[in-house]
Each structure stands twice: as structure tokens, then as C-alpha cells.
């Protein structure tokens, strides 16, 4: 019986992979929660993609069907990308950049505008800022070993 050594680490073994996995699980659960009455108020008023969707996740964050699906798909991406350290690092950094763009978008697009199709409210905007900073920081700080290992 021979044992081969590889550079490949197991699923979610490195800190950056664990961070991507945890965020993936959280995003998936948030996406699902956006459809559950009691966790989300006004589920019967969910619209596909419009600022007029009256559904509120945890009574704070305005959501729509599209918003919930994006969270769920983002969660699935996190679970998949947690398989390798480099993919997990990319998930965190690129995802953080996406959230930074969403934060800026939310600042400039009026909440009652048709351009606010996701929909986003003030609570979403501030959460997007926190997610952007946290994800980018986690990607760079926890992913340092990944970059060194590749070099």
C-alpha cells in the first residue's frame, strides 16, 4: 500500500476555508429564512424583484424573492468554494467587493425608486458595509498562508 502526499488539504481544513464555509451556511440559511413566516413578516407580500416588496426578514431587512434566492445561491457558492483554500479566499474577497458595491449602490439609489429592484433598505445598506469589510479582511488575513503556499 503506497501513500501519496499532496498539497491539497481537506474540505474546510484551513481557517480561510472554515470562514467561507461558515458564511456559506449563514447565507444559505438567510436565503431560506426569507421565505419562512414568523422569521419574515409579510411573506404573503413577497414580490419577485421590486422595492414595493413588503416582506421584512427579522422585521428589519426588506427582502424579495430575488433577494432571498441570491442569498441562498451565494450560500451554496460559499459551501462549494470552501473545498479549496484559494477558492475560499476568492469567495471572501470577491464577495466582499460585491457587498461594497451593493453598499455604495444602496447609498445612491433612492429606496422608493424602480432602480431599487433587489430591494435594499437602510438596514441592508449598513449590513452590506459590515459584510464587505469583514469578508475582505477575512479573505486577506486568513488567506495569507494560501498565497504563501502557492508562491
Q: What is the pLDDT of residues 6-45, one digit of tens each?
A: 345 678 899 999 999 999 999 999 999 999 999 999 999 9
Q: What is the mean pLDDT of the chain?
A: 90
Q: What percent of the chain has pLDDT over 90?
A: 75
Mean pLDDT of 85-99: 97
> Which residues on neighbouring strands pair with residue 41, listed in sequence order?
56
Mean pLDDT of 98-123: 92
Confidence category of residue 138, pLDDT binned at 50, 70, 90: very high
In this predicted structure, the answer to whether residue 2 has a pLDDT above a threshold of 50 is no
pTM: 0.86
Amino acid at each position: 500500500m503506497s501513500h501519496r502526499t499532496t498539497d491539497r488539504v481537506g474540505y474546510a481544513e484551513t481557517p480561510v476555508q472554515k470562514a467561507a464555509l461558515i458564511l456559506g451556511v449563514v447565507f444559505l440559511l438567510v436565503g431560506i429564512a426569507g421565505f419562512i413566516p414568523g422569521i419574515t413578516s409579510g411573506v404573503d407580500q413577497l414580490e419577485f424583484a421590486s422595492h414595493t416588496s413588503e416582506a421584512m426578514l427579522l422585521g428589519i431587512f426588506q427582502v424579495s424573492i430575488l433577494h432571498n434566492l441570491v442569498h441562498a445561491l451565494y450560500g451554496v457558492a460559499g459551501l462549494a468554494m470552501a473545498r479549496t483554500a484559494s477558492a475560499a479566499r476568492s469567495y471572501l474577497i470577491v464577495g466582499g467587493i460585491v457587498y461594497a458595491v451593493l453598499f455604495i449602490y444602496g447609498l445612491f439609489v433612492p429606496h422608493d425608486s424602480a432602480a431599487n429592484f433587489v430591494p435594499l433598505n437602510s438596514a441592508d445598506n449598513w449590513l452590506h458595509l459590515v459584510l464587505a469589510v469583514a469578508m475582505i479582511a477575512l479573505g486577506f488575513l486568513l488567506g495569507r498562508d494560501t498565497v504563501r503556499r502557492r508562491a
